[in-house]
Amino acid sequence: MATYLEINKKQVNEEKWEEPFYINMGPQHPSTHGVLRLFLELEGETIINCTPIIGYLHRGVEKLGETLNYNQAIVLSDRLDYIASAANNTAFALAFEKLMGLEVPRRAKLLRTIVCEMARICNHLLWLATHALDIGAMTVFLYCFRDREWLLNIYEKICGARLTHSYVRVGGVRQDFTQEIIDELYKFTEEFPPRIYDYEILIDVNRIWLKRTKGIAVVPPEDAINLGLTGPCLRGSGIAYDVRKFRPYDAYGEVDFVVPTGKNGDTYDRYRVRMEELRQSNSIIRQCLDKLPETQGEPVLAENAPDLLMPEKVKEPKPQPVPKKGVIFRGVEKPIVPVGEAFASIESPKGELAVYVVSDGSNKPWRLRIRTPSFVHISAIPYMAKNHMVADLIAIIGTLDIVLGDSDR
Amino acid sequence: MEELLNELKEKFSSVIVEIQEKDYPTLICKRTGFLDLIKYLKDEKGFKYLIDLCGVDYLNYKQKKFEERFEVVYHLYNLDTKILIRLKVRIPEDDCWHYSVTPLFMTANYFERECYDMFGISFKGHPDLRRILMPDDWEGHPLRKDYPVYLEEEQEWKTYKEFTQKVKK
């Protein structure tokens, strides 16, 4: 990098380059995947300093969570990382179940694992599409969206929603899979692995792709842990930390899968890790589908799961005066939540998503803390972007796989 | 696990007030000497990964058994032995500050900024303590329990008001 600058300085009159050049990237820049604003200090085309400015999408999910009851808070989680909302639902549900001491039926665990892994495939496909598009490979984008569309259609059959599906509930899942969905998923898991190979040959032999990803944003393993990187970003640096293996939740304890790791910790290795994860996720879905017939007919919601606050049944409906501020639902509130705290974390497609709940015994959480991977990953941008070109910054934002709804909450 | 807790209790008897067995072992610590404890945990015991750092406001909490208003909660993880521990530091309202762990963990940088933004706890030794999610000229700390969920018209953000008036003209 230094040599490039020296050449540049010789070519242009040196006095003009004494002051660093400041540039504002975002919040409407297309490659920042949302409303991320980066304040750059440049010397030539090299980044000396980079300051991320976030908060443009802050909706106060943590504060809102304190005003809603536990079942309603699940709906908020959809809006965090809207690309993989099933994973967010699961994190919330796991924390609340831990707090309430609920035991989830095995069938519900298997179904959760399937939707979580579908979310991972969706997320990685979208990531590959946009990352490749940012770097300049247009074709991959179209192919990835074709497969993602298939999965979204399956989601629509499962719960009626394509992006924000509050399918995972406290104590289980909303409803069972029909045979049609299972057949469709079997078809998907058979046809998907050859397609991953197709994507790889589209970009793996592409010289531009290799030049723009190899050796870019190298993070050594010690620094990766210290920066708090998780998920594929940490595994790209060669550390096989995966919450699914280290603290198994749902049905991950009973399925076989490999945690892929990289060697060099550069952008290319992180890409390889994600491609391998696609195959592993596909195999996990297949294994869970094979196990589903063993639990045929079991309930998918725990017996003592908290009911939604539903209106009491009125035998003779009478015209009632409509309250001015919103509709008030009256129902039976059971004191089911003990006083205490719980911490649960899952391996969301982007990294480790942790939820910490403090309860005071009422039906609303006292404090709902969400540790999102994107928030931490954005804090790593200044470290990774140092002494890189402005064009490489696009690759760095892409490789970290950030969603601003996830980071700003 | 128990060995570690006993060792910590002996070595840092002046820092650790109480050890609670919850879903994860919870150490309640004093503010003075906390940095030594977390440094020992990181360098000697291998707790190199700070999963989370957050604040909790216990104003008017019914089951509260302590005087201080705030708590700062740390979740530390050891990647080799797979042990997760939780550290808690209680912070009084009239003396609202804590030591920063950013020199030890780079992750803590944004977490502490968020904690300052949301609860008004300032961290001594933090390189760049500014608001992170709320605008720089925001008044109040939103996640405190005495901060309303819905703001009255007079309390609204001034810059936004000025902006809307400008647009109307």
- Given a contact cutoff of 8 angstroms between Cβ atoms, the answer to whether A151 and A213 are in contact is no
Confidence check on the interface: ipTM exceeds 0.95, yes or no: no
In tens, the pLDDT along A88-98 reads 999 988 888 88
Taking CB atoms and an 8 Å cutoff, what residues of chain A touch B54? 356, 369, 371
pLDDT value of position A100: 82
Q: How confident is the model at residue B59 (pLDDT cuts 50, 70, 90)?
A: confident
In tens, the pLDDT along A340-361 reads 888 998 988 888 889 999 888 7
Taking CB atoms and an 8 Å cutoff, what residues of chain A touch B73? 356, 369
Taking CB atoms and an 8 Å cutoff, what residues of chain A touch B56? 358, 366-367, 369
CB nearest to A376's CB, from B54, B107, B134: B107
Q: Which of A13-22, A95-104, A114-123, B120-129 has the lowest mean pLDDT?
A: A13-22
Q: Where are the alpha helices (DSSP H) in A214-299?
A: 221-227, 232-235, 243-246, 267-291
Q: How confident is the model at residue A392 (pLDDT cuts 50, 70, 90)?
A: confident
Contact (CB<8Å) A228/B50: yes
**B30-67 in b/e burial notation, b at 16+ Cβ within 10 A?**
ebeebbebbebbbeebebbbbbbbbbbbbeebeeeeee
* pTM across the whole model: 0.85
Q: How confident is the model at residue B146 (pLDDT cuts 50, 70, 90)?
A: confident
Place of tokens 């909303």: A174
* Residue A278 contacts B, CB cutoff 8 Å: no
* Residue B100 contacts A, CB cutoff 8 Å: no
Residues 1-20 of B with CB under 8 A from A: none
Task: Give the Cα separation of B58 and A143 in Å (integer).
Answer: 51
In tens, the pLDDT along B4-51 reads 778 777 777 777 878 888 788 888 888 888 888 888 888 888 888 888
CB nearest to B61's CB, from A55, A222, A360: A360
Residues 17-36 of B with CB under 8 A from A: 22-24
Taking CB atoms and an 8 Å cutoff, what residues of chain B touch A233? none
In angstroms, the first-to-last Cα distance of chain B is 67
Mutation pick from B21, B22, B23 vs chain A, by most beta carbons of A within 10 Å, is: B23
* Residue A339 contacts B, CB cutoff 8 Å: yes
In tens, the pLDDT along A163-221 reads 888 888 888 888 888 889 889 989 999 998 988 888 888 888 888 888 888 888 888 88
Nearest CA in chain A to B115: A369
Average pLDDT rounded to a whole number, residues A110-133: 89
Percent of chain A with pLDDT over 90: 3
CA distance A219 to chain B (A): 13
Place of tokens 């403090």: A358
Taking CB atoms and an 8 Å cutoff, what residues of chain B touch A224? none
- B18 membership: H or E segment, kind and range: strand B16-21
In tens, the pLDDT along A275-317 reads 898 899 999 998 888 988 888 878 777 777 766 544 445 555 5
Which is nearest to A92 in space by CA: A348, A407, A308? A348
- Is the pLDDT score of A41 beyond 70? yes
In tens, the pLDDT along B83-108 reads 888 888 888 888 888 888 888 888 88
Burial class (CB in 10 A: 0-12, 13-18, 19+), A10: exposed
Instruction: Work out the angle between the directed axes of helices B2-11 and B34-43 (0-180°, nearest 10).
Output: 140
Q: How confident is the model at residue A2 (pLDDT cuts 50, 70, 90)?
A: very low
pLDDT value of position A315: 55
pLDDT value of position A38: 84
pLDDT value of position A3: 42
- Is the pLDDT score of A9 beyond 70? no
CA distance A227 to chain B (A): 5
Contact (CB<8Å) A60/B50: no
